[in-house]
Copies of this chain bind each other. A is one copy, B any other.
Amino acid sequence: MRAAVEAGAERFVAELVEWLRIPSISGDPANADDVRRSADWLVETLRATGFPTVEVWETAGLPAVFAEWPSDDDDAPTVVVYGHHDVQPVTPLELWTHPPFEPVVEGERLQARGAADDKGQVFFHTLGVRAHLQATGRSSPAVNLKLIVEGEEESGSPNFAGLLTERRDRLACDVVVVSDTGMWSRETPTTCTGMRGLTDGQLDLRGPAGDVHSGAFGGGVRNPLTELARLIARLHDDDGHVTIDGFYDGVVELTDAERALIAKLPYDEQTWLVNARSSTAYGEKGFTTLERVWTRPTAEVNGIWGGYTGAGHKTIVPAEAHAKVSFRLVAGQDPLDIQAKFRDWLARHVPEGIEWSMEFYGSGVRPCLTPLDHPAFGAVTRAMETAFGTEVLYTREGGSGPEADLQDFLDAPVVFLGVSLPDDGWHAPNEKVEIPLLLKGAEAAAHLWDELATSLRP
């Protein structure tokens, strides 16, 4: 398998470089045609790779690409690989050592916007499937292989849930493989087991009908800023637990085995703090930093405003107070249920004399978590361990993404095969990827189809 990957490496890099020249920035309307050009390029290349069916899937926004390569084996399981072909904007341009859409290879490093996020990681699947066929002598993959490559991920996937609903039949599968994440480090390959969910919105408090003079009325009426502060302070107890009634109901608690696996990672708090741009770690009592950000739900204030905020002073009791509030959620929590519980909590704790409203932004993002004992995990772990030649550990993601939609709409477990490194510079200037790791990704993918065929066969 490794020989087959290495034999295809040159073509793979040359093609990837070609793709990276297309500035498929979904966030800038000026680049809409480039995103379409990127989709068309991918269609041609996937056809050349051998996928019998390749289609551009239009959305209300920018197009996705779908490809399908059925297995000749009747009882082969079906796999959907997820990735995206759009990229982040490139400002500030002056911080790039080379133009972002003129890819440069320097040693093992390939620098360009999208090299790691996500073109490089989607594209290793073309090399992977070729190696899979060549090394096994098969004429079709060991699984029914489907690719869905989104074109709006960097713009918040506004049309992705709709696409999944509309194309549910075409995307039917037994497992989803997401190739849009990374690993712990070059020395410590990992796979992700879940992501946090999210629901957020805006809380508005209203006190006096207009700003009133704090000399004439201060001390005699409730100040909505003070009441907002009291609510926010009350959201956590002294141990950092969220105090909303029923907030933790149903939360899937970490098992001892999962805690032990997280503890096995070569974590260094000082390094983590540098990335967090913070001097001190802090959080819910009874959990380590990684457990807090990966496995525990949060109540966070993302913004706050009200009253006089200009230069100098204006001594008022203001009419209004506002906050952006977000909740990161974990398996067992449902965004809509948390929305209802927070409203109940507000109704109980906002005092007389203050009116309130809480507008949530949509229905939120559900958390996703695939149990460690799911056979697909064994498959991805073994495939990666064969490719990397070392033990593969487990991480989670604290963020929230369309992966939960895949899990929900396709009703299939999600596993993660990503090889990007924390210093690859996602969304930043001088984004790069390590070519040897992309080849490891291709090799792992080449093994994965056999592993999944064996693990998931009924």
Q: Which residues of A come within 8 Å of B, CB atoms?
A: 196, 198, 200-201, 207-210, 212-223, 225-226, 228-236, 272, 275-284, 289, 292-293, 296-298, 300-309, 312-319, 321-324, 326, 328, 351-353, 361, 397-400
Additional A-B contacts beyond A214-B328, A215-B328 (13; CB < 8 A): A208-B278, A216-B399, A220-B281, A220-B283, A221-B282, A225-B302, A226-B235, A228-B304, A230-B233, A279-B352, A302-B315, A302-B316, A302-B317
Cα distance A283–B314 in the bound complex, in angstroms:
21
Q: Which residue of B lies closest to A317 (CB)?
A: B300
Q: Is the CB of A221 within 8 A of B304?
A: no
Q: Which residue from B234, B275, B397 sits with its C-beta under 8 Å from A233?
A: B234
Q: Is the CB of A302 within 8 A of B326?
A: no
Report 30 cross-chain contacts, Cβ distance below 8 Å, ordered by A residue: A200-B313, A212-B277, A214-B300, A215-B328, A215-B399, A216-B399, A217-B278, A217-B293, A219-B292, A219-B297, A219-B328, A220-B283, A220-B289, A220-B293, A221-B282, A225-B302, A226-B301, A229-B230, A229-B233, A229-B301, A229-B304, A282-B353, A300-B317, A302-B308, A303-B306, A303-B307, A304-B305, A304-B307, A304-B309, A309-B324
Cα distance A94–B355 in the bound complex, in angstroms:
31
**Minimum C-beta distance from A76 to chain B (A):** 35
Cα distance A350–B409 in the bound complex, in angstroms:
46
Q: Is the CB of B277 within 8 A of A218?
A: no
**Minimum C-beta distance from A387 to chain B (A):** 26
Q: What residues of chain B lie closer than 8 Å to A229, measured between beta carbons? A: 228-233, 301, 304
Q: What residues of chain B lie closer than 8 Å to A198, measured between beta carbons? A: 215, 315
Q: Which residue of B lies closest to A229 (CB)?
A: B232
**Minimum C-beta distance from A416 to chain B (A):** 15
Q: Is the CB of B326 within 8 A of A313?
A: yes
Q: Is the CB of B328 within 8 A of A324?
A: no
**Minimum C-beta distance from A313 to chain B (A):** 5
Cα distance A329–B391 in the bound complex, in angstroms:
67
Cα distance A255–B145 in the bound complex, in angstroms:
86
Q: Is the CB of A302 within 8 A of B318?
A: yes
Q: Is the CB of A309 within 8 A of B293?
A: no
Q: Is the CB of A304 within 8 A of B303?
A: no
Q: What residues of chain B lie closer than 8 Å to A298, measured between beta carbons? A: 214, 218-219
Q: Which residue from B277, B283, B292, B353 sits with its C-beta under 8 Å from A208?
A: B277
- Given A226-B236, A289-B220, also A309-B281 (CB < 8 A): no
Q: Which residue from B216, B289, B304, B397 sits with its C-beta under 8 Å from A304?
A: B304
